[in-house]
Structure formats: structure tokens, C-alpha cells
Amino acid sequence: MLVSSRKMLREARANKQAIFAFNVYNLESAQAVVRAAEKIGKPIIVQASQKSLQYAGMENLAYIVHSLAQSASIPVVFHLDHGKDLSFVERAIRSRLFTSIMYDGSSLPLEENIKNTARVVKMAHRARVEVEAELGVVGTASGNKAVKIEYTDPAQAKEFVGKTKCDSLAVSFGNIHGAKTANEKLNFEVLKEIAQAIDIPLVFHGASHSTQAEIEKARTLGVAKINIDTQLKQAFFAAIKKNSDADDPRLLLGAARDAMEKEAYRLLTY
């Protein structure tokens, strides 16, 4: 069933639990994560980035997820991940295809991020859509280049949430998008201070290849949503390479789907 994330995430934070959010791109990746969640009997957030939706077509990918959610035995949230273009985010809200959206203004000056996020929240709440925002800089791994990280400031987080009324907040505490790097080190003291400053669900971006202990620690400190992308893509790609001699796209993509499902299931056991 397709559901809102509001109650799900608030209950998760209150109970020191977290909901896994998996990025999808096509039929096979969407099947993989929903099947994994059904097998273990846990709710799931299926999300697609602005780039993925522009590639596949917003309605095309949404209809795949909606179809799977409608026949699923577990609650499914459909979430727009990293919407950075205001016009695209507003189009997503108007489409009524998403039960949750993220507006990412983290690269903007604080006041501009607050202004834009508040605008998105006002529009989204009228449509009964929940809003995730981001404050601080969650870096992105790129080869051997140094990764820019800017911790979320707890005082700014309190101001930001108060002024924007966002429903959840993606925060930076040493986490990095993409593959794990040698210099990635999670700062749980920073996360604790953020959690003490604001009471809404926190979101852990760049959680791929984090240890079970790290994920469990984050859950105890206010994180209610765990984003996984790279880790599942790697499982998908590995299966593609292993079965590259397949002469039927269904065999090739089916093997990739099954590998992705296996990895998603393993994570959901945490």
C-alpha cells in the first residue's frame, strides 16, 4: 500500500528505529527493494532522484512504483530524493504521484535555503505531502579528491526547522554520498547535538557500506530514515558483469534484480 511518511518516521524516531530508503531507477530495481521488504515484513521508502526521474520520465517511474506498492503487503512511501530545482519539485508536488518529497537547498546560503524550503513546505502540506530538507554539506565521493564536508550546525538546525516547518531533516555529521572513502568518519557527537536541538526525524544520507553498529548508533540518536543508493547499485552492476554473456535481457536484468534484492534484504535485517 502507498502511504505517507509522516507517522512512519515520527514513530521510528520515537522508538529509536529507522526506515530504510532505497533509490530506484527502473522496473527491476523497484521490484528488488519492494520484494525484499515484503519478504522481511518491514515498511520501506522507495525513492528516485530528480536526475533519475528526468531520465526515466516522472510518470513512467512513478507508475511502476505505484503498481508495486498497491499490490504489496507492506507500507510503501514514494519519495522524491534530492530535488534541487524548485520548478521540478513543485511539479512533483502538483503531480500527486509522491507521498513525500525532498527539497535540497543545502548548497545555497542559509537564508535562501530557509526561504525556498518554507515555500516548498507550504505548497506540499496543502497537497498532504511530507517534506524532507537538508542543512549542512553532505559531501560526494569523487575518485581520490578530498570530499567537502560541512557539519550541520545544531543552532542553525533549530532556526531552520522553526522557520520552514519541514517534516524531516537530512543532516551532515561526516557522512558522504557514494562509495566509502578512507577519510569518512561519522561524528556521533555532532549528531547527538543536532538531535537534542530539534525533535523531528533526522535523515542519514550516504549510508551505503556503513556498519550495522553505525546504523544502530544513528537510530538511537534521532535518525529515522537511512538512505542507501551506491551499495545496491554495486550489487546490481556486479550481477550484470557476471552475466554479461546472457543472450536475453530478461536473464541479464533478472539476475541484477535478484542480486539487488538480496543486498536490500540483508540491510533490512539490521
Query: Is 153 noted as a catalytic residue in this protein?
Result: no
Q: Are 66 and 99 in contact, with CB atoms under 8 Å apart?
A: no
- Length of the chain, in residues: 270
Distance CA 53, CA 32 (A): 18
Distance CA 224, CA 130 (A): 14
Parallel, antiparallel, or unpaired: how do β-strands 130-135 and 168-171 relate? parallel
Give Dmax (Cα) for the chain: 57
The residues assigned a catalytic role are 81
